[in-house]
Amino acid sequence: MKRLMSAVLFTAVAIVGITVSVAATVDSDLATLRKAPLNQESTPPPMSKTLNTDIIPARSYPMQPPLIPHKIDNYQVDIKANKCMSCHARSRVADTQATMISVTHFMDRDGNFLAELSPRRYFCQQCHVTQSDAKLLVDTDFTDLDSLIGQEQ
């Protein structure tokens, strides 16, 4: 019983300590990407525009999923339908001139090829994203792989 009371008391002290430290953090001048105190609602920035160029951007690193070079607003991708396949399926690329999805999308987790799109690769936006004109939130010195290889030579 004595151990149980000690454990309860320790937990209560820990919770009070966490609450005090959180309150102190919220009240201080904390630098955030929001540019506003954490305990106040601020006006969100306007939504950035989706780029709709149909120009496929270069990849920044090996095995990066290709970026979507067009708008996908109102595309239905759910268990009933996949709008992406209306252009990117093997049977449609000759008509649409869209890039065919990779053969890896027809493989199961054991590396066996399937006759149709793998359920693991069905929801395209798990990996593929559209591009926008959003400003960078933080400075970066990211260098793509090709630039790094060029610097070594």
Per the annotation, does 84 bind a ligand? yes
In-domain check, residue 92: yes
Domain that holds residue 107: 77-152
CATH number, residue 136: 1.10.1130.10
pTM here is 0.67
CA distance 146 to 65: 16
Residue 90 and residue 98 in contact, taking contact as beta carbons nearer than 8 Å: no
CA distance 74 to 95: 22
pLDDT digits (tens, 9 = 90+) for 46-72: 889 999 998 888 888 888 999 999 999
In-domain check, residue 18: no
Residue 130 and residue 68 in contact, taking contact as beta carbons nearer than 8 Å: yes
Per the annotation, does 70 bind a ligand? yes
Residue 60 and residue 142 in contact, taking contact as beta carbons nearer than 8 Å: yes
Per the annotation, does 78 bind a ligand? no
59 vs 28: which has the higher pLDDT: 59
In-domain check, residue 38: no
In-domain check, residue 64: no
**Mean pLDDT, rounded, of the chain:** 84
In-domain check, residue 121: yes
Q: How many domains does the chain have?
A: 1
